[in-house]
Chains A and B, each alone.
Chain A
Amino acid sequence: GAVVSQHPSRVICKSGTSVKIECRSLDFQATTMFWYRQFPKQSLMLMATSNEGSKATYEQGVEKDKFLINHASLTLSTLTVTSAHPEDSSFYICSALKYSNQPQHFGDGTRLSIL
């Protein structure tokens, strides 16, 4: 089955640090990758849609200068949380999509804790 790898699984760092999260589709080429944020006991909230070779499309209210997305290839997208603050602490999850009307395959998520 389709496998998406996300690293790191957990990050604990000081306020002001920038954190980079990687999302890789291991056995297929993803036309599109998505980045979500999930707070405890809440739903998945889409942050941005990422397509290889083009700028990411951010959802309303998501700061593009704070959450930098780079989609270097059809198998790799990265999310960098710049100058992270405690309110950025959350569970970040990526997903990858091969074709439209197909399942999104999710990575295992990254739990980010900013002290």
Chain B
Amino acid sequence: QQPVQSPQAVILREGEDAVINCSSSKALYSVHWYRQKHGEAPVFLMILLKGGEQKGHEKISASFNEKKQQSSLYLTASQLSYSGTYFCGTPDQGAQKLVFGQGTRLTINP
């Protein structure tokens, strides 16, 4: 089952904050976050495995709620380099393969 991301797109000015959500109607085994720039391959950001987990640093971090049905990615004081499409992915029925959300396009303007 494909996780649902929101919002679909965000436009910010440099220095502003953003939150991207990834949710499912069922508990997720884990959540993987990636960023993809146009025409390039996705780049790994982080994995969250446990309910209640928070990971990352002050600029880019993520959380996984207790029920493991939602994860949020936090981008603080955004930089121009943060622009791209962010995907969350989750293992399909515990298998190694990932099912990705539809993506959130983040645009950072000067």
The 0/1 profile, CB within 8 Å of A marked 1, for residues 11-42 of chain B is: 00000000000000000001010100001111
Give which listed residue, B44, B49, B89, B99, contacts A101 with CB less than 8 A.
Answer: B49
Nearest-Cβ distance from residue A71 to partner chain B, whole angstroms: 14
Q: Is the CB–CB distance between A32 and B41 below 8 Å?
A: no
Q: Is the CB–CB distance between B43 and A106 below 8 Å?
A: yes
Q: Is B87 close to A, CB under 8 A?
A: yes
Q: Is B47 close to A, CB under 8 A?
A: yes
Name the prevailing secondary structure of the B interface residues. Answer: loop
Q: Which of B32, B47, B49, B98: most chain A CB closer than 10 A?
A: B98
For A44, list chain B residues within 8 Å (CB): 42, 87, 89, 100
Nearest-Cβ distance from residue A17 to partner chain B, whole angstroms: 23
Q: Is the CB–CB distance between A34 and B97 below 8 Å?
A: yes
Interface residues of B, Cβ cutoff 8 Å to A: 2, 30, 32, 34, 39-44, 47, 49, 87, 89, 96-103
